[in-house]
């Protein structure tokens, strides 16, 4: 009758797996680390029934499952760290001005609204119409000739500056704008017909939040929530 050799040889199994036992850290935790898991698995191998040893594939499956869970935990930790760092950096934008695609913005007392439009062709007749919150036109400013390309403007509630040049135009006393929310409509003669141009305007960042997908959301005065990736310029 053949004898079955005992597998209860802790040192040989440990040597084969090239694992060095470490003293457990003096830490009160319920988490099972990698070293503790491997030590537990080795103990299980050493104390298994020699007449009915556990299949090797079961050990491999246990190790693979542990590695998968550990990888997900590390990924989650990295993502949380990334989101926290982004939120910390974005918090520095609060109170600053950014430029986004919009036709509305808020004029603060003593401040300006900056913006830009792109012209596919040069024009001899560009106009800027500004509406208040009731939808009434408070100013219609003739700009005149503007070359092809980007036209940048600044408005302080009374005067309008286009491409660094202050227009020779003054608002009536009744139409000088106070602090509030305004809508801009800019038209230009393009290729023989008058067209409305897409407008980008500046707005102050009131707060920053993180969306469900991890995207940074800027809450802009007079505009609302805008993803940070949609910002055209940080002023």
The span from the CA of 189 to the CA of 113, in Å, is: 24
User: pLDDT tens digit string along 130-183?
Assistant: 999 999 999 999 999 999 999 999 999 999 999 999 998 888 888 889 999 999
Domains of the chain: 7-22+31-47 (no CATH), 102-201 (2.60.40.4070)
pLDDT of residue 136: 95
Is residue 234 scored above 90 in pLDDT?
no
Give percent above pLDDT 90 in the chain. Answer: 40
pLDDT of residue 215: 78
CB atoms within 10 A of CB 103: 18
Q: What is the mean pLDDT of the chain?
A: 77
Is residue 81 scored above 50 in pLDDT?
yes
For residue 54, the Cα-to-chain-centroid distance in whole angstroms is 50
The residues pairing with 216 across neighbouring beta strands, listed in sequence order, are 210
Q: How far is CA 105 from CA 146, 165, 204, 214, in A?
A: 23, 22, 9, 26
Contact 6, 50 (CB under 8 A): yes
3-state secondary structure at position 94: coil
Contact 150, 117 (CB under 8 A): yes
pLDDT of residue 208: 86
pLDDT of residue 199: 96
pLDDT of residue 119: 94
The residues pairing with 80 across neighbouring beta strands, listed in sequence order, are none
CA angle 172, 177, 179 (to 5 degrees): 160
Q: How far is CA 86 from CA 91, 104, 211, in A?
A: 8, 27, 12
The span from the CA of 111 to the CA of 222, in Å, is: 14
Is residue 26 scored above 70 in pLDDT?
no
pLDDT of residue 92: 76
Average pLDDT of span 21-28: 49
Is residue 65 scored above 70 in pLDDT?
no
Nearest residue to 13 (alpha-carbon basis) of 49, 52, 40, 51: 40
Cβ contacts of residue 146 below 8 Å, gap of 6+?
A: 119, 122, 123, 126, 162, 163, 188
C-alpha dihedral sign at 45, 48, 52, 57 = negative
Cβ contacts of residue 5 below 8 Å, gap of 6+?
A: 50
The span from the CA of 3 to the CA of 145, in Å, is: 104
Bigger pLDDT: 63 or 200? 200
């Amino acid at each position: 009758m053949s004898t079955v050799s005992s597998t209860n040889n802790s040192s040989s199994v440990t040597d084969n797996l090239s694992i060095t036992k470490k003293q457990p850290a003096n830490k009160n935790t319920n988490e099972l680390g990698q070293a503790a898991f491997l030590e537990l698995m080795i103990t299980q191998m050493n104390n298994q029934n020699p007449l009915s040893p556990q299949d090797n594939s079961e050990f491999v499956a246990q190790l693979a499952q542990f590695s998968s869970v550990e990888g997900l935990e590390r990924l989650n930790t990295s993502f949380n760290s990334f989101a926290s760092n982004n939120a910390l950096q974005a918090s520095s934008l609060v109170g600053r001005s950014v430029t986004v695609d919009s036709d509305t913005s808020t004029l603060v007392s003593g401040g300006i609204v900056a913006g830009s439009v792109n012209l596919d062709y040069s024009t001899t007749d560009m106009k800027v119409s500004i509406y208040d919150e009731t939808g009434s036109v408070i100013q219609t400013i003739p700009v005149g000739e503007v070359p092809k390309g980007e036209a940048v403007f600044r408005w302080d509630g009374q005067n309008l500056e286009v491409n660094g040049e202050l227009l020779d135009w003054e608002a009536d006393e009744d139409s000088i704008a106070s602090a509030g929310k305004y809508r801009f409509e800019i038209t230009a003669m393009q290729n023989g017909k008058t067209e409305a141009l897409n407008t980008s305007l500046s707005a102050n960042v009131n707060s920053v939040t993180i969306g469900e997908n991890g995207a940074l959301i800027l809450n802009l005065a007079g505009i609302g929530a805008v993803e940070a990736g949609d910002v055209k310029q940080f002023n």
